[in-house]
Amino acid sequence: MDAAEVLQTVLSVIQGGTPIATPSSATSTPSSSQMLSPQGGGPPTIPQMIVTLLSLGAFWDWLKVLLVGAFLEICRRGSAAVWEKLWDSVWVTADFEWDSDGAEWLMYWLSQQRVFQKARSIEVCTWYFGPEGVCVNDLGDSDGDDRNDQVVFLPSLARTYSLWYRGLYLTVSRDRVLDAGSPWKTSKDMLQISMLTRDSGLLRELLKEARKAYKAANGHLIDVFVTEGTENWQRVAAQEKRPMSSVVLDPGVFELVLEDARDFLNSRKWYSDRGIPFRRGYLLYGAPGAGKTSMIHSIAGELGLAIYILSLTVTSLNDNSLKALISHLPKSCILLMEDIDAAFVRGIARRDIANPELHLLTSSNDDGDDNEDSSKGHAGRDPGGGGHNGVTLSGLLNALDGIAAQEGRILFATTNDYAALDPALLRPGRLDLHIEFGLASKHQAKELFKRFYTSSDAPVKVDEEDDDNIEDDGAGEKNSAYSSRTVSPVPPPGNATSKLLAMPEGVKSVYVGMTCTRHSFQLPQKKAAALVERFAAAIPPHTFSMATLQGYLMAYKVRPYVAVEEAPAWVEKKMRENDTQAAAKGRGSPGASTLGKTGTFHDVDD
């Protein structure tokens, strides 16, 4: 009796029907239906069915096949597990997200090893992967020295590349996988490094080497991060470090903040032993264009810290996302909150940001007007201290020094309106040191002039014979080969150069540039000192911002004598413009002078 006949008989009996007769059933051998059917008729019982199935020869054949298949599958899986363990014992593998710092280190290291130069399948792109201060051109020609023309080779998807590292076989691959953590089911690229060795420490040595090479090439740059979404940070730029000498402040101001920040970074154990939260905050306030951002940039370079820029006016930001962003900061970094006074005010008047001299002029001559502006600013706040973006003052305070606040970071906050800040934000533990930036002092005017017309890289040439001919040099400089643009749309007749350089009608510039038609000269030291004194004497102290003075000198960037000669007329013109604007607004009296200090600072602990 074959298996098909047995199966057909069993099914017919279970269904209560009459079994189908077959030729073999007519023989003397009892059929399966007779074996399954009870003597009194009716459906068979379960024990009867089991006995019947065990008595069938086909059942034992099926059982043998099942056992043999199970044994083979166990052997296959066991051998695969053994092979996988054996493989893992001789290979060390590490996976990196494509946009992570580790992947960036390795890609820069691989680009220096020329791994993809001989590859037969690569991805070609023209964007740069790695430190912005280093140019990589995988084409190997001199035409790619310009960063805009460089070509970079990257690993293709689902391809494996091999190389040798310290005599060991190394493979590199790039794959695209589904991002399990993304609610939108997006994909992400992964970089995988595998090394044929039993020593996992060699892979760590490779990562250290890659990180060291990357940081060596990136040592002159500062990483700048901004918010990505509401809870993550994204690197958007790598700025050149700014030397201390390029930030012109009154003596001692920059040094005080730098040394205070350096002392803070070296005092982690001191804070921990006394149970003090390891955080430090600085508030830079005062006139726009006074050097607040430049100071932060320079301090970040001196301390070797990245800058994380947090804008409190982002509409998608709320208290919870603000806490998440600050908690995701690294242990040592600079957190920058610019214009913190506008965070909780809807439509706040920014007090003539385009003209800081006019702001200080009117504020110093009309105290009642300051109170009025301050009251307007506080009146513009939403009820409960919150802005339209969902961030409240309470949420900001908790994010800065609450339980979930990140430790080790240095906070720099800037504002142009100190009076608009809530007193709770100014207390120690949140903003510890307050530094005021006023308009340019006499010292700052001198230093700015030196920065423009003397070089710190090479010694200034001294010409003893010409030291007393400053006036003659100035007259000659006016007729030199340096042609300046003019604000007049009508150039002088017969002057082709002036015609080309004339400002078109309707175009307004903060400062006007010039075209250099001959090589620059080295300003003699004694002449430079004399010009510095004359320039500082022509600029009234605490009257113009550093940005305004820089804009003026930019118009004479290769003509120091003319800059000094025309400075008094420029000062008179600017003062007259400020007086006219103040009178037009009805907020000041014409002819009033401005007073203010630059670099005033105080510690709120005092």
If you average pLDDT over residues 172-189, what whole number do you get? 83
- The single residue listed with the structure tokens 């043998």 is 64
Element (H, E) at 470: helix 470-478
Alpha helical stretches, state H, 380-461: 393-401, 442-453
Which of 60-64, 115-119, 176-180, 544-548 comes out lowest in average pLDDT?
115-119
Query: How high is the pLDDT of residue 327?
Result: 86
Q: Which domain holds residue 49?
A: 3-55
Sequence length of the chain is: 606
Asked whether residue 581 falls in the same domain as residue 534, the answer is yes
pLDDT at 69 over 60: yes
Residue with the bigger pLDDT between 134 and 449: it is 449
Query: How high is the pLDDT of residue 156?
Result: 87
CA distances from 558 to 164, 325, 459, 484 (A): 54, 46, 18, 10
Local confidence band at 40 (pLDDT 50, 70, 90 cut-offs): low
- 410 assigned to some structural domain: yes
Query: How high is the pLDDT of residue 481?
Result: 43
If you average pLDDT over residues 268-272, what whole number do you get? 92
CA distances from 246 to 78, 241, 289, 297, 528 (A): 69, 11, 14, 11, 18
- 600 assigned to some structural domain: no
If you average pLDDT over residues 265-281, what whole number do you get? 91
If you average pLDDT over residues 226-241, what whole number do you get? 83
If you average pLDDT over residues 43-69, what whole number do you get? 82
Asked whether residue 546 falls in the same domain as residue 474, the answer is yes
- 471 assigned to some structural domain: yes
If you average pLDDT over residues 141-152, what whole number do you get? 61
The pairing of strands 280-286 and 433-437 is: parallel
Residue with the bigger pLDDT between 400 and 148: it is 400
Asked whether residue 432 falls in the same domain as residue 300, the answer is yes
If you average pLDDT over residues 199-215, what whole number do you get? 90
What is the four-CA torsion angle of 370, 371, 375, 376, rounded to 10 degrees?
-30
Asked whether residue 472 falls in the same domain as residue 545, the answer is yes
Asked whether residue 99 falls in the same domain as residue 214, the answer is yes
Element (H, E) at 255: helix 253-265
- 71 assigned to some structural domain: no
Radius of gyration of the chain (CA): 39
Could you give the percent of the chain with pLDDT greater than 70? 66
Asked whether residue 509 falls in the same domain as residue 452, the answer is yes
If you average pLDDT over residues 419-444, what whole number do you get? 89
Asked whether residue 290 falls in the same domain as residue 394, the answer is yes
Query: How high is the pLDDT of residue 13?
Result: 57
Are the CB atoms for 170 and 162 separated by under 8 Å?
yes
- 123 assigned to some structural domain: yes
Asked which of 166, 199, 219 is the last residue of a domain, the reply is: 219
Asked whether residue 265 falls in the same domain as residue 126, the answer is no
- Name residues whose C-beta falls within 8 Å of residue 121's C-beta, 6 or more positions apart in sequence: 156, 159
Query: How high is the pLDDT of residue 268?
Result: 92
- The encoded tokens of residue 539 equal 């600029």
Domain count for the chain, please give it.
4
- 187 assigned to some structural domain: yes
pLDDT at 539 over 50: yes
Could you give the percent of the chain with pLDDT greater than 90? 20
Q: Is 83 exposed, middle or buried (0-12, 13-18, 19+ CB in 10 A)?
A: exposed
Residue with the bigger pLDDT between 9 and 66: it is 66
For position 260, which CATH number holds? Answer: 3.40.50.300
Asked whether residue 320 falls in the same domain as residue 406, the answer is yes
If you average pLDDT over residues 340-350, what whole number do you get? 60
Cα–chain-centroid distance for residue 379?
A: 34
The pairing of strands 122-125 and 152-155 is: antiparallel
Residue with the bigger pLDDT between 577 and 482: it is 577
If you average pLDDT over residues 288-316, what whole number do you get? 90
- 372 assigned to some structural domain: no
Tens of pLDDT along 254-265? 999 999 999 999
Local confidence band at 592 (pLDDT 50, 70, 90 cut-offs): very low
Query: How high is the pLDDT of residue 465?
Result: 47
Asked whether residue 252 falls in the same domain as residue 391, the answer is yes
Q: What is the mean pLDDT of the chain?
A: 75
If you average pLDDT over residues 406-431, what whole number do you get? 88
pLDDT at 562 over 60: yes
Which of 105-114, 268-277, 339-348, 420-429 comes out lowest in average pLDDT?
339-348
Query: How high is the pLDDT of residue 387?
Result: 46
- 236 assigned to some structural domain: yes
Asked whether residue 248 falls in the same domain as residue 334, the answer is yes
Q: Is 236 helix (H, G, I), strand (E, B) or coil?
A: strand
What is d(CA 115, CA 232) in angstroms, rounded to the nearest whole number?
32
Asked whether residue 407 falls in the same domain as residue 288, the answer is yes
- The encoded tokens of residue 601 equal 């600072």
pLDDT at 518 over 50: no
What is d(CA 290, CA 249) in angstroms, rounded to the nearest whole number?
9
